[in-house]
Amino acid sequence: GVGLSIHGHFRVATEKTLFAMPETAIGKLSGKIGYYLGLTGYRLKGRDVLKAGIATHFVESDKV
What is the rounded average pLDDT of the residues 4-23? 87
Question: pLDDT-derived band of residue 22, with 50, 70 and 90 as boundaries?
Answer: confident
Contact call for residues 22 and 28 (beta carbons, < 8 A): no
H helices, E strands: number in the chain: 4, 4
- Domain coverage including residue 46: 1-59
Q: How many independent structural domains does the chain possess?
A: 1
- pTM of the complete model: 0.80
Give the three-state DSSP class for 19.
strand
In a domain, 42, yes or no: yes
Q: Identify the pLDDT of residue 13.
A: 95
Q: What integer is the mean pLDDT of 14-42?
A: 83
44 within some domain: yes
- Domain membership flag for residue 64: no
Taking residues 19-28, report their average pLDDT.
Answer: 74
Mean pLDDT of 43-58: 94
Predicted confidence at residue 29, as pLDDT, reads 80
Amino acid at 7: H
> Is residue 52 within 8 Å of residue 60, measured between CB atoms?
no
CB atoms closer than 10 angstroms to residue 23: 15
CA distance 16 to 11: 14
